Structure 1
Amino acid sequence: MTRIVFNFMGKTALITGASGGIGREVARVFHNAGASLVLMDLHEGPLLELTADLGDAHRVVVAAGDASNPAGIAAALELARTQFGGLDFVIPVAGIYPESPVIDTTDDEWRRVMSVNLDGVFQLLRAAIPVVRQGGAVVNFASVAGHRGSKNHGHYAASKAGVIALTRSLAHEVGPKVRVNAISPGTIETPMVTDLVKARGAEMLAETPLGRHGKPEEVAAVAAFLCSDAASFITGETIHVNGGLFMAG
């Protein structure tokens, strides 16, 4: 893959779900571009491993905690303020993707998916937007499922459709200070979709014009673009990163 160079020197990014397949690559791209990072995920161990892997650790702090927990969000924002003087980019990558037909989904299962995938994004952005500096950017993570629906993942699809609507609504409210966009990945080679690829991988490849699954770094590059000056007149948009799978209907 051709390396695209971004310059985020002097900028700070808060990334949730940072130790996941896509989150790690987002952290890597932003760190390589010079940004300081506040990395958030459930467990401290993987975050510390990622910090060591990135190097230049004085530009990275970790905040272990649930992305849907207001106390954890507040702690992460305080780290951005005290360690780096503020916040420029908010990138909520954290999400869960359990399988369950709608008629078999329990109330607890529904609430858990909504809590992480939608409530957590709302709570993070509600708390973070007032402290994001002028010219900052938000990049939310939706999904092709939020546009097309997803068999046996109705709760997930509904949560991601909510993210798309929240993105547009917030863009109306906080421009011109902050730009707000989203990415809708398709099938990206991460542990989250291992079972899906086993079950339906061949079918999905047949529907994908580019004939392959995506790589986490390809998604991370789009997140960096949306935070960069190259996207300075883009807000309220959802960018499809799915090799054309969305066009399959």
Structure 2
Amino acid sequence: MNATFDFAGKTLLITGATGGIGRQTAELFHRSGANVILMDLDADRLESMRSEMAMRVVAVAGDASANEPIQTALRLGAESFGGGLDFVVPAAGIYPESSILDTGEELWRKVMSVNLDGVYRLLHAAIPHMNDGGSIVNFASVAGHRGSKNHGHYAASKGAILALTRSLAHELGPKLRVNAVSPGTIRTPMVESLVAARGSAMLSETPLARYGEATEVASVVAFLCSDAASFITGEALHVNGGLFMAG
């Protein structure tokens, strides 16, 4: 996929930057001219990614659900690029498999900490630095709409992201637009175990009869941030090959 956009002079802050979808999103924005502020827990992969991009990029290694790395990213972004933020994409997330009876307090809190609390902390800190006309794109999931067997913690966190997205669209308009992307089964390391266990069944329910690619999600994130989506806010765009069709 070779989608391109004009993001010259704009600045993106993205967490989960070295993940399958996060990386493709960051690289697409960078190719389209944006400055990028990368955040990820994996310091080695993050440094490799920063080095490959070479210019118009800063990187901060740390827990995306913790305040200190977020503040560091905001400071370095301001020092390097000035002008505030135009796009914020909280892409960090975890997807452990566990039935509700096997999900202890510690695992429940970990999933909520990364998938929900981390989004709150990032947006709470970043929104005051965002420019008029800016865009936030959150990551929900098909699981947040229809549930997911043995992933109740994940589905709950993504359902909350949908509600947060709509609420912020009300609060922050008309200055900012806030939308979400709801991927289905995308070919990334995060869903390898799901594909191994239930891949054939999911494909049989998917009209396009294949898994999605991270580049296909990245292009939708970029679309939602672009002027082509200037009258879209409070929405969740499904990128799942028809696995889930919202009524």
Per the normalisation by structure 2, the TM-score is 0.97
Please list the CA deviations of residues 168-215 of structure 1 after superposition, one character each: whole Å capped at 9, or x if unmatched: 000100111110000000000000000100000000000000000000
How far residue 52 of structure 1 moved from its aligned partner, in angstroms, is 2.6
Runs of 4+ in structure 1 displaced over 4 angstroms?
A: none
For 2:51 and 2:240, locate their aligned partners in 1 and report how far apart those are by CA, in whole Å.
31
What amino acid does structure 2 have at the position aligned with 1:21? G
Aligned pair count reads: 246
For 1:58 and 1:192, locate their aligned partners in 2 and report how far apart those are by CA, in whole Å.
29
Aligned counterpart in structure 2 of residue 63 of structure 1, from 55, 60, 65: 60
For 2:186 and 2:23, locate their aligned partners in 1 and report how far apart those are by CA, in whole Å.
13
What amino acid does structure 2 have at the position aligned with 1:154? G
* Correspondence for 1:226: 224
For 1:127 and 1:151, locate their aligned partners in 2 and report how far apart those are by CA, in whole Å.
34
What amino acid does structure 2 have at the position aligned with 1:71? E
SS of 1:246's equivalent in the other structure is: coil
How far residue 217 of structure 1 moved from its aligned partner, in angstroms, is 0.2
- Contact 1:101–1:152 (CA under 8 A) maintained in structure 2: yes
What amino acid does structure 2 have at the position aligned with 1:19? T
For 2:160 and 2:123, locate their aligned partners in 1 and report how far apart those are by CA, in whole Å.
14
Equivalent residues in 2 for 1:43-58, closer than 5 Å: 43-54=42-53, 57-58=54-55
How far residue 166 of structure 1 moved from its aligned partner, in angstroms, is 0.3
SS of 1:62's equivalent in the other structure is: strand
SS of 2:55's equivalent in the other structure is: helix
For 2:246 and 2:231, locate their aligned partners in 1 and report how far apart those are by CA, in whole Å.
29
For 1:78 and 1:248, locate their aligned partners in 2 and report how far apart those are by CA, in whole Å.
40
How far residue 48 of structure 1 moved from its aligned partner, in angstroms, is 1.4
What amino acid does structure 2 have at the position aligned with 1:176? P
Sort the Cα spacing of 1:110 and 1:211 in 2 relative to 1 into closer, same or farther, 3 A: same
* Correspondence for 1:8: 7
Equivalent residues in 2 for 1:44-193, closer than 5 Å: 44-54=43-53, 57-85=54-82, 86-193=84-191
For 1:67 and 1:51, locate their aligned partners in 2 and report how far apart those are by CA, in whole Å.
17
How far residue 248 of structure 1 moved from its aligned partner, in angstroms, is 9.6
For 1:5 and 1:19, locate their aligned partners in 2 and report how far apart those are by CA, in whole Å.
20
Q: Does 1:23 align with 2:22?
A: yes
SS of 2:39's equivalent in the other structure is: strand
What amino acid does structure 1 have at the position aligned with 2:68? A
* Correspondence for 2:201: 203
SS of 2:182's equivalent in the other structure is: strand
| C-alpha RMSD over aligned residues | 1.2
Equivalent residues in 2 for 1:35-50, closer than 5 Å: 35-50=34-49
Which stretch has the larger CA shift, 41-50 or 103-112?
41-50
- Contact 1:164–1:182 (CA under 8 A) maintained in structure 2: yes
Per the normalisation by structure 1, the TM-score is 0.97
Please list the CA deviations of residues 108-159 of structure 1 after superposition, one character each: whole Å capped at 9, or x if unmatched: 1000000000000011111111110111000000000000000000000000
What amino acid does structure 2 have at the position aligned with 1:245? L
SS of 1:182's equivalent in the other structure is: strand
- Contact 1:44–1:62 (CA under 8 A) maintained in structure 2: no
What amino acid does structure 1 have at the position aligned with 2:17? A
SS of 1:94's equivalent in the other structure is: coil
Q: Unaligned 5+ residue runs, structure 2? A: none
For 1:84 and 1:170, locate their aligned partners in 2 and report how far apart those are by CA, in whole Å.
26
How far residue 5 of structure 1 moved from its aligned partner, in angstroms, is 2.1
